[in-house]
Amino acid sequence: SPSPRQNMPIRYFIMKSSNLQNIDISQQKGIWSTTPSNERKLNGAFWESSTVYLIFSVQGSGCFQGFARMCSAIGCEKSQDWGSAGFGGVFKVDWIRKESIPFQFAHHLLNPWNDSKKVQ
């Protein structure tokens, strides 16, 4: 049967990581965790969209490290994989592409919700 959310919009989020190790953990375990301030926005998008894509970048890398689909809402359970540093609950992700892609390949993409700045 068709998905109950199939006629809803697709949402995209850039997820910045402070280090490559977090990206590696996510790709190995199929999970992600973000700061509590991002949780409400991501959970809202998960429930109100047909699909939520997360595009990952390590701060200062000049690249995207790949992208994944959000596969579950963010729960209360925390993961010790990232240490303690201010992360909220864990949620499942399905990695679609695991590859470094320099920002220059996306400079033609502009974000209308961020003063039409380049997506990076």
pLDDT (tens digit, 9 = 90+) per residue, 29-60?
A: 999 999 888 999 999 999 999 999 999 999 88
**Does the residue 4 lie in any domain?**
no
**Does the residue 3 lie in any domain?**
no
Q: From residue 109, how far is each of 7, 9, 42, 68, 102 by CA, in Å?
A: 24, 19, 21, 18, 13
For residue 70, the enclosing domain spans: 10-118
**Does the residue 1 lie in any domain?**
no
The CATH number given to whatever domain includes residue 73 is 3.10.590.10
Per the structure, how many domains does the chain have?
Answer: 1
**Does the residue 5 lie in any domain?**
no
- Please state, in angstroms and rounded to a whole number, the distance separating the CA atoms of residues 68 and 54: 5
| pLDDT reading at 86 higher than 60 | yes
- Please state, in angstroms and rounded to a whole number, the distance separating the CA atoms of residues 59 and 120: 10
pTM of the model: 0.82
pLDDT tens, position by position, 89-105: 899 999 998 888 877 76
**Does the residue 20 lie in any domain?**
yes
**Does the residue 79 lie in any domain?**
yes
